[in-house]
Structure 1
Amino acid sequence: MAFGDLLEQVGSTGRFQILHVTLLCMPVLLMASHNLLQNFVAAVPPHYCNAHTNLSQSQLSPEETLLITVPQDQIGKPQRCQRYVTPQWHLLTKNGSSGSGEDKDTKEGLDVGLQGCDDGWSYNMTDMSSTIISDWNLVCDLRSFKQMGQTVYMGGVLVGAVVFGGLSDRYGRRILLLISNLLMAVSGTCVALSNSFTLYCVFRFGCGMALSGLGLNTFSLIVEWIPTRVRTVVGTITGYSYTVGQLILAVVAYFLRDWRWLTLAVSLPFYVFFLISWWFHESSRWLVMSNKPEQAIKNLKRVANFNGRREEGEKIDIKMLQESMTKEMSCSQGSYSVLDLFRMPTMRKMTICLSAVWFSTSFAYYGLAMDLQKFGVDIYLIQVIFGAVDIPAKVVITVSMSFIGRRPSQSGGLILAGITILINLLVPYEKSTARTCLAVLGKGCLAASFNCCYLYSGELYPTIIRQNGMGWVSMMARVGAMVAPMVLLTGEYIPWLPGLIYGGAPILSGVAAIFLPETLGSPLPDTIEDVEDSQPVGAGGQAAPAVIKIGATLLLVGLLALGIVKGHLVAAQQRLVILQRIGVVDSRRERHGMAGIWGCDLEGLFPTCRCAESLPASQRSLHTAGPADEGQSNHSVQHAGPVPPCTQDCCIYWSPR
């Protein structure tokens, strides 16, 4: 482990390291922008069907045209994916009526037909001037294309992790960093100029590949040119660059509301980064491990000159290098692949645990951060909040890593994030502020986990195979990011299941992190033999009691949560059975997630019911609609028979399923 001594001789924390780290952190600012760009370029603006072509020359105001063309949902907003087959002119004469347009039509006994948006859509572009959704009409039947674009991008990140991870261990960090910067610049420019969704996806895939190459090689060049004692601080600075990048994205997106200009704004700087990358020196540590000692000595002397230690640098020669790193150079013969991560027992256990950590961190992180519109808050504001929470989170994780250690920090951050997400399941849906606060807290914990695992993984893997290892775990993270949107689909069948999965995965991986070795204050391993000769993974018996205690606690918390959820489900089922016996439950209403029931309040089972006579006459017809999802139509069901008198136990009861 003598490379650290050579680094101290030429200056380990001098001007070279300061400038080196600063320049390498600059692209990280915009890596965050590309990672989260989907929130803005694919934002879904409010939209509704265009009017019939024969109304285009009419003298009606836009509001009147909308009224007679598009039916309203249950809260009085235009439906997104349906319009009347023919204009409903009679609605213009119903001033002051209440209820939705569709309800009024039903009560008038009119035969109202609905159709899709055959003439396209109109978009309310108040928050932005253009998105890929409005440009290519990715709504209604094509609404899943939004998630497809993000999945394709993450697929590029996944492929890039595999490709660049192996190539950089073989050809060096610097050359792959140059290629990655150029690929990001060109692909990002082509994304902004794309004239179809297909081309958009192709070039976003290229951006994803470039992002992996940038992340892997930037971090390796940083870590391999700094000493052990400052790795935590420098790693945290790199993490803060990503945090600042999230805030920059919110500001740039606020002023550039057109998705093409926004994409160009976060892509063109990579041409500059490409030029800057020519100045970087290849990692001398990697050069030594790759049997290129002459180039390693040349780079060490350049660093010594830059740091004002010319005389110390001139003392380094081939003989000194061979004497100090005989073991490492002898072990560096041959090439290594991803398979070498699993050949030896300690490396295998370490890789499995790190795979779980990276997968679950990315899985839960993107499950929270990639759909800002679901919070019902201005997307620019929520982006700032989600970015700002990383600042205190990373301060805490930095202190924790420096004084408590890497292993407990990694494990604790994941477990806390999982518990926060699970608690959110128990908060009523209408309490949006509380739910948003918990989501922000969970996102902060996951950001801290990301900050930790980048540094931790780089310290665990030996130099000779570090890029292969980082490429593998980065690939697992991208798999998690690709799977995250798919889990949301399960919410259509079991509403609380996505949250349970998003919360359970970090907890399980937090337990797995306990079995990793501690690296606080330890020098970087250079060979696989260094890892195998070190202490057993997880420190054996010291980790077992902690695992048992944490496992027991998590089991109790899980049982309690499941008991609460089960209790709610049983109570809901009992109410539904009673209502089916005493009232009328509309089947169409059930399919759309609501239950509107005429019935009697037996022994206070339904305390939220309202007496029929206390409702306006227009609402005594049981008008219903499902959630305001695209593609769903409204239904109007009118109770057969007179409205019952307002007695103590007869009422109309509304309850979300």
Structure 2
Amino acid sequence: MSEDNNEVGASTEKQQNGINGKKSNGRKTSVYEKPLDLDDVLVNELGQFGWFQLRNLALVSIPIIMSAFMSEYIFSAATVPYRCRIPECGEDGKSNEFEPEWILNAVPESNSRFASCERYVPLGVNGTLNYCPSSIFNQLERTGCDSFVYERDNTVVYEFDLGCQEWMRALSGTLNSVGTLLVLPITGYISDRFGRKVALIINVFNVGLFGLIRAFSVNYPMYMVLQLVQTTLGAGTYSSAYIFATELVGPKYRVATSATCSSMFAIGQIVLGGVAWLVAPWRYMNMVIHIPCFLIIIYYWVLSESVRWLLSKGKYNEAQKVLETVARVNKTQISEKSMEALISTSKNSTVASKVEKPGLFQSIIRSPTLLRRVCTTPIWWITTTFVYYGLSINSTSLSDTMHLNFILTAAIEIPGLITAVLVLNRIGRKATLSAGFFFSALCNIIFVFISNDLYVLRLIIFLLGKFGISAVMTSVYLFTSELYPTEYRHSCLAFSSMIGRIGSITAPLTPVLTEYWHGIPSMLFGGMGILSGLLVLTQPETLGTKMPDTIAEAEALGKKKNPEELK
């Protein structure tokens, strides 16, 4: 979202000359030598981060926290240990002891105590719940289960009898991620047509509405459909809130504000893990986390509309009122001349945006440099979402304390985000991003070879892997946006983000791969991290460089050229 802030007024900079340079009584009305944009006003008059921006950030932090609740499928559709029901031993379909003393007489042994989907072929019906001898089974022959006994009854796996249907169980997480892809055009249309505030309120309301309805699902297909609908109509919550937080913040505080928003999402995951721990039954958990979402309706009267959207839609009177409110709350002021110049720039930007330009596809094909970047940056995004969400989902299987594991995995994101903010402007974007990929990959590969008995060491290495990818999550957005020219920045960034959804769509399926070998998910995370870390090294460093406005400037990044060549 931050690239939008750098684009305001850029398209008309060469078409206007000294909007604020008009003379009145022999004096210039302003010192600005270029069209005045909102960033200029924030830096020079309103304040880059005052009480108004702080209030905005505090308000949108609540929806960002709520947006994390859409990951509740990690708990409501969590895997549950199960085994074949043994009716020959008196198990009659009601609740039975999961691990009776005689269980290995009827069920083959496996690495995880006993088999989940197989049992020995019965020879007779002479056992009871207290006594079930091996003599009534042919232990040389195995067969599948007719029904199941579950260790826990607080997830949809028990309620909808999903034993030995791991791919079906994991499908709920995949549908959740598919919805985050489908929501992009829907939220984009609502946001551009009706405003950022309306888009935010609608998305959070839908999160609460369909999440609450899902708590009353009567079967698993209904649960999955509602999962898809909820994210398709509500997953725009984070992006809408992010725009509010960053669009009215000055350039100096934009990276810190972005990291704060990401930290709020991590806090939302911690809240989710805590609620799921305290309210174990999945139906009640859904009610507890989704009912508060309806309170967001009051934001219609509490939250001010985005100034940038108001200016882009020609709602200048409303934009002026918001700017005056910002000045009053921040105890600053905006001059009438600056207000007029800002509106004038906005009008000219609207006119300039209608000028016919070469197509995006044609421009990229003609530029080998941009073509290589368009083929490279989406791979970073696929890896980032794949590893980030994959680690969160797989954290619940680290041990029996699944809720604590999830909470720790979410909490480690915050120092990862802070680290990225501290080093991005010191060692550079490329070094930060590449090091984050390599570090996370190394931790994931090491994790595969640590014994299950060393739980504390396994947990530390796992958390360090999440720490590394969390730093990447903050860095990849900034670095990607700085590699593309202004005129195509938003489109190329959106393309990378959209393709990156492949990672979040496939991440929920990774726990199923442990049935074939326990290390497959971690090795995949490690391999993808190494690949992306190497690809990052193929791109130029952007630290300390001007954000490119033209294709020529974007191609010149990292090259020593005479400035005259770029004209």
Query: What are structure 2's unaligned runs of at least 5 residues?
Result: 1-8, 10-36, 562-567
For the residue of structure 1 that corresponds to 2:149, the secondary structure is strand
Correspondence 1:73 to 2:145:
no
Structure 1 residue 341, shift from structure 2 partner: 9.3
CA distance in 1, matches of 2:489, 2:217: 37
Structure 1 residue 69, shift from structure 2 partner: 8.6
Structure 1 residue 154, shift from structure 2 partner: 0.8
Residue of structure 1 aligned with 2:558, choices 536, 539, 548: 539
- Per the alignment, residue 83 of structure 2 pairs with 48
Post-superposition Cα deviations, 1:527-549, rounded to whole Å, max 9, x if no partner, equal xx82536453651479xxxxxxx
TM-score by length of 2: 0.78
CA distance in 1, matches of 2:139, 2:308: 79
Correspondence 1:258 to 2:281:
yes
Residue 522 to residue 164, structure 1, CA distance change in 2 (3 Å):
farther
Correspondence 1:124 to 2:144:
no
- Are the equivalent residues in 1 in contact too, given 2:207–2:235 (CA < 8 A)? no
- Per the alignment, residue 32 of structure 2 pairs with none
Post-superposition Cα deviations, 1:41-81, rounded to whole Å, max 9, x if no partner, equal 112333334453994799xx968796599435257956433
CA distance in 1, matches of 2:440, 2:100: 49
Post-superposition Cα deviations, 1:317-356, rounded to whole Å, max 9, x if no partner, equal 445532x567744432279998699578476555444322
- Are the equivalent residues in 2 in contact too, given 1:363–1:483 (CA < 8 A)? yes
Residue 306 to residue 427, structure 1, CA distance change in 2 (3 Å):
same
- Are the equivalent residues in 1 in contact too, given 2:215–2:284 (CA < 8 A)? yes
Amino acid at match of 1:229: K
Residue of structure 2 aligned with 1:214, choices 199, 218, 237: 237
- Are the equivalent residues in 2 in contact too, given 1:349–1:537 (CA < 8 A)? no
- Are the equivalent residues in 2 in contact too, given 1:51–1:69 (CA < 8 A)? no
In terms of mean alpha carbon deviation, does 494-503 or 18-27 score higher? Answer: 494-503
Correspondence 1:355 to 2:378:
yes
Correspondence 1:144 to 2:167:
yes
Correspondence 1:395 to 2:418:
yes
Residue of structure 1 aligned with 2:397, choices 374, 393, 399: 374
Structure 1 residue 455, shift from structure 2 partner: 4.6
Correspondence 1:186 to 2:217:
no
In terms of mean alpha carbon deviation, does 401-410 or 20-29 score higher? Answer: 401-410
Correspondence 1:239 to 2:262:
yes
Residue 289 to residue 92, structure 1, CA distance change in 2 (3 Å):
closer
Amino acid at match of 2:148: W
Residue 317 to residue 246, structure 1, CA distance change in 2 (3 Å):
closer
Structure 1 residue 467, shift from structure 2 partner: 6.0
Structure 1 residue 361, shift from structure 2 partner: 0.6
Residue of structure 2 aligned with 1:530, choices 535, 543, 549: 549
Amino acid at match of 2:283: R
- Are the equivalent residues in 2 in contact too, given 1:286–1:463 (CA < 8 A)? no
- Are the equivalent residues in 1 in contact too, given 2:125–2:136 (CA < 8 A)? no
CA distance in 1, matches of 2:240, 2:470: 20
Structure 1 residue 159, shift from structure 2 partner: 1.2
For the residue of structure 1 that corresponds to 2:49, the secondary structure is coil
Structure 1 residue 461, shift from structure 2 partner: 6.7
Correspondence 1:27 to 2:49:
no
- Are the equivalent residues in 2 in contact too, given 1:173–1:217 (CA < 8 A)? yes
Post-superposition Cα deviations, 1:482-529, rounded to whole Å, max 9, x if no partner, equal 223556666666776544432122222223334556565778x6xxx8
Structure 1 residue 415, shift from structure 2 partner: 2.1
- Per the alignment, residue 504 of structure 2 pairs with 481
Residue 376 to residue 18, structure 1, CA distance change in 2 (3 Å):
same
For the residue of structure 1 that corresponds to 2:83, the secondary structure is strand
- Are the equivalent residues in 2 in contact too, given 1:291–1:332 (CA < 8 A)? no
- Per the alignment, residue 125 of structure 2 pairs with 87
- Are the equivalent residues in 1 in contact too, given 2:417–2:471 (CA < 8 A)? yes
Q: Which runs of structure 2 are paired with 1:202-601 in the superposition (5 Å)?
A: 202-289=225-312, 293-309=316-332, 312=334, 314-322=336-344, 328-333=349-354, 342=364, 345=367, 350-427=373-450, 431=454, 433-457=456-480, 468=491, 471-486=494-509, 498-514=521-537, 530-532=549-551, 534-536=553-555, 538-540=557-559
Residue 177 to residue 397, structure 1, CA distance change in 2 (3 Å):
same
What number of residue pairs does the alignment pair up? 518
Residue of structure 1 aligned with 2:73, choices 35, 38, 42: 38
Amino acid at match of 1:252: V
Amino acid at match of 1:179: I
- Per the alignment, residue 133 of structure 1 pairs with 157
Structure 1 residue 139, shift from structure 2 partner: 1.0
In terms of mean alpha carbon deviation, does 83-92 or 22-31 score higher? Answer: 83-92
- Are the equivalent residues in 2 in contact too, given 1:68–1:87 (CA < 8 A)? no
Structure 1 residue 226, shift from structure 2 partner: 0.4
- Are the equivalent residues in 1 in contact too, given 2:89–2:128 (CA < 8 A)? no
Amino acid at match of 2:75: F
CA distance in 2, matches of 1:247, 1:215: 16
In terms of mean alpha carbon deviation, does 342-351 or 361-370 score higher? Answer: 342-351
CA distance in 1, matches of 2:240, 2:556: 27
CA distance in 1, matches of 2:418, 2:68: 19
- Are the equivalent residues in 2 in contact too, given 1:360–1:477 (CA < 8 A)? yes
Structure 1 residue 247, shift from structure 2 partner: 1.8
Residue 339 to residue 326, structure 1, CA distance change in 2 (3 Å):
same
For the residue of structure 2 that corresponds to 1:364, the secondary structure is helix
Post-superposition Cα deviations, 1:438-473, rounded to whole Å, max 9, x if no partner, equal 222111111121122345556667888776555433
For the residue of structure 2 that corresponds to 1:281, the secondary structure is coil
Amino acid at match of 2:558: A
CA distance in 2, matches of 1:473, 1:15: 34
Residue 539 to residue 292, structure 1, CA distance change in 2 (3 Å):
farther
Q: Which has the greater radius of gyration?
A: 1
- Are the equivalent residues in 1 in contact too, given 2:412–2:463 (CA < 8 A)? yes
CA distance in 1, matches of 2:331, 2:536: 42
CA distance in 2, matches of 1:331, 1:51: 75
Residue of structure 2 aligned with 1:164, choices 173, 180, 187: 187
For the residue of structure 2 that corresponds to 1:312, the secondary structure is coil
- Are the equivalent residues in 1 in contact too, given 2:394–2:511 (CA < 8 A)? no
Structure 1 residue 165, shift from structure 2 partner: 4.0
- Are the equivalent residues in 1 in contact too, given 2:64–2:265 (CA < 8 A)? yes
Structure 1 residue 205, shift from structure 2 partner: 0.9
Structure 1 residue 132, shift from structure 2 partner: 0.6
CA distance in 2, matches of 1:169, 1:348: 29
CA distance in 2, matches of 1:12, 1:290: 23
CA distance in 1, matches of 2:348, 2:539: 25
Amino acid at match of 2:60: L
Amino acid at match of 1:19: R
CA distance in 2, matches of 1:180, 1:144: 29
Post-superposition Cα deviations, 1:170-200, rounded to whole Å, max 9, x if no partner, equal 6543332222122212121121121111111
- Are the equivalent residues in 2 in contact too, given 1:517–1:535 (CA < 8 A)? no
Structure 1 residue 149, shift from structure 2 partner: 0.9
CA distance in 2, matches of 1:57, 1:492: 29
CA distance in 2, matches of 1:318, 1:136: 63
CA distance in 1, matches of 2:410, 2:192: 33
Residue 117 to residue 6, structure 1, CA distance change in 2 (3 Å):
same
CA distance in 2, matches of 1:340, 1:175: 35
Amino acid at match of 1:47: Y
CA distance in 1, matches of 2:177, 2:528: 19
CA distance in 1, matches of 2:64, 2:181: 18
CA distance in 2, matches of 1:341, 1:181: 38
